[in-house]
Amino acid sequence: MTHPDILIVGAGVAGLSLATALGREGFRVTVIDGAKRPPRPTADREIHDWDLRVSALTPASIDFLERLGAWSAIPRDRTGCYTGMKVWDGHGSGRIGFDASEVNAAYLGHIVENRLTLQVLLQCAETSPGVEVRWECAMADMTLTDSGWEIHCEDGSTFCAPLTVGADGARSRVREWAGMPTRDWSYEQSAIVGTLKLASRHQDACWQAFLDTGPLALLPLADEDKVAIVWSLDETQHEPIAALSDEAFVSALNWALGDDGPQATAVGPRASFPLRQSHAVDYIDEGLVLVADAAHSIHPLAGQGINLGLSDVRVLAEELTAGKAKGLAVDSPVALKRYQRQRKTENLAMMAAMEGFKRGFGSRNPLAVIARNVGLSLVDQQAWLKRWFMGQALS
Ligand SMILES: Cc1cc2nc3c(=O)[nH]c(=O)nc-3n(C[C@H](O)[C@H](O)[C@H](O)COP(=O)(O)OP(=O)(O)OC[C@H]3O[C@@H](n4cnc5c(N)ncnc54)[C@H](O)[C@@H]3O)c2cc1C
């Protein structure tokens, strides 16, 4: 049996960044993941060479990744630095544009392929003192003992640490085995993701259309004529659109984008994800703590999923380090409660805002359509209000 100080279940972006941060502070950390070790990502740039899962990393997330030594290891010719956002209502004339210069910022964020972020974080974790990462080591069950949770894996290995971290994603087995309840709601939508080639340049902007079938986002990749799409669609619309041939899909997408957005000329491989919002009632239990998607998963319409997760990781690492400096045990409820208090408040506020957005823009009620079109145009004309919105997006 292996006995680290901290066992992290899940080597996604959250698990690996937490391992790196804690390893540097002198904790002995083991990370286990059921998947195979991810291969080195290709540097090829054809439409089928880009990862289908991308993240819009905010400056705050980039700053944290920089402090871990990860950001500078991501090749700059592979990230889409965006300086603008163009948002419009597919049901009227309401539109709003944001530009980094309006808040004296150099940029608003970077679109990064998930597999690249993962690869550099894996290198950072493996070169951190006291960190061990084990692949093809899926947790099968867990039991609470006097020394902490005992984790049994499908390959026969067993781990026991005073503190176990559930970083095992939205369908967290750790959360389930520990019997930690969640509040869930399905949007009855699925999202289609893929890479598009455009007829024009993406202008270093994120494009977001609120259509009556759900939001459609185009996220600029490093190549000026390529974007990643996240097209959220009500279940009744999703299946027929997902089943279209590439050519018919591009036509349907161009029709949905209308005259307000860029037009696509080709699409690469596509995948679909069901959209749910889920929030754990508590992030902590005896000898146990949840981070990122294991604690909360959120609608991708504002691209905040991994940014909230990285904030969880930063705060948890800070609290555990501060606790250690004060001589507290690694599983001390004092540090864990401080983490939960800080992160739950911010995560809940973001989830409530997403729910409001989703409901406001999902409505076909004519009054709601007029209100949101007037609202978008009004905000667009008010410099101070725009700056406030942008401040929220940059943090
Ligand atoms: C369509 C879509 C678009 C998105 N777009 C954005 C965006 O633009 N910006 C953004 O910030 N976020 C976005 N997100 C969300 C983002 O991808 C997630 O928030 C993020 O990947 C969560 O990271 P994580 O490390 O918590 O979990 P995951 O990435 O899910 O990693 C969990 C890890 O745990 C492992 N695991 C699971 N079960 C076990 C087990 N029993 N034993 C061992 N290991 C296990 C898995 O193999 C996996 O490696 C999007 C999500 C979707 C679905």
Tell me the mean pLDDT in the region 43-47. 93
Q: Report the nearest-CA residue for atom 38 of ligand 1.
A: 168
Burial class (CB in 10 A: 0-12, 13-18, 19+), 200: exposed
Lowest mean pLDDT among 56-60, 302-306, 324-328: 302-306
Residue from 306, 311, 343, 395 to probe ligand 1 pocket by mutation (most atoms less than 8 Å from CB): 306
Distance CA 153, CA 136 (A): 9
CA angle 375, 376, 377 (to 5 degrees): 95
For residue 12, report the distance from its CA to the centre of ligand 1, in Å.
6
Could you tell me if the CB of 51 is within 6 A of ligand 1? no
pLDDT at 366 over 60: no
Q: Tell me which residue range forms the domain holding 252.
A: 6-394
pLDDT-derived band at 103, boundaries 50, 70, 90:
confident
Residue nearest to atom 3 of ligand 1 (CA): 300
Q: Do the domain assignments include residue 1?
A: no
With 60 as the cut, is the pLDDT of residue 364 above it? no
Arithmetic mean of pLDDT, 165-172: 97
Whether residue 344 lies inside any domain: the answer is: yes
- Ligand 1 pocket residue status of 168, Cβ below 6 Å: yes
Q: What is the mean pLDDT of residues 110-138?
A: 97
Q: Is the CB of 11 under 6 A from ligand 1?
A: yes
pLDDT of residue 357 exceeding 80: no
Residue with tokens 């041939």: 245
Measured in Å, residue 169 CA sits from the centre of ligand 1 at 5
Residue percentage of the chain with pLDDT more than 70: 88
In a domain, 305, yes or no: yes
Q: Is 34 within a domain?
A: yes
CA of 78 to the centre of ligand 1 (A): 20
**Best of 37, 51, 53, 142 for a ligand 1 pocket test (most atoms within 8 Å of beta carbon):** 53
- Whichever domain contains 211, its CATH number is 3.50.50.60
Token code pair at residue 302: 């504002």
For 242-292, write each residue's pLDDT tens digit.
Answer: 999 999 999 999 999 988 889 999 999 999 998 888 999 999 999 999 999
The pLDDT confidence band at residue 141, using thresholds 50, 70 and 90, is very high
pLDDT at 98: 84
Q: Which pair of tokens denotes residue 234?
A: 């009500």
204-229 confidence digits (pLDDT tens):
999 988 888 888 999 999 999 999 99
Q: What is the mean pLDDT of the chain?
A: 90
Instruction: Give φ, ψ of 304 to 5 degrees.
Output: -100, -5
Q: 139 CA distance to ligand 1 centroid (A)? A: 17
Distance from the alpha carbon of residue 53 to the mean position of ligand 1, in angstroms? 9
Tell me which of 321 and 372 has the higher pLDDT: 321
Number of domains in the chain: 1
What is the rounded CA–CA span in Å between residue 335 and residue 294? 19
pLDDT confidence of residue 367: 53
Position 365 pLDDT exceeds 70: no
User: What is the reported pLDDT for 9?
Assistant: 98
347 lines ligand 1 (CB under 6 A): no
Give the pLDDT band (50/70/90) at residue 302: low
- Domain assignment present for residue 47? The answer is yes
Q: Among 9, 55, 192, which is best to mutate for testing ligand 1, by the most ligand atoms less than 8 A from CB? A: 55
Q: Is 231 inside any structural domain?
A: yes
Cβ 31 under 6 angstroms from ligand 1 = no
Q: What is the pLDDT of residue 359?
A: 65
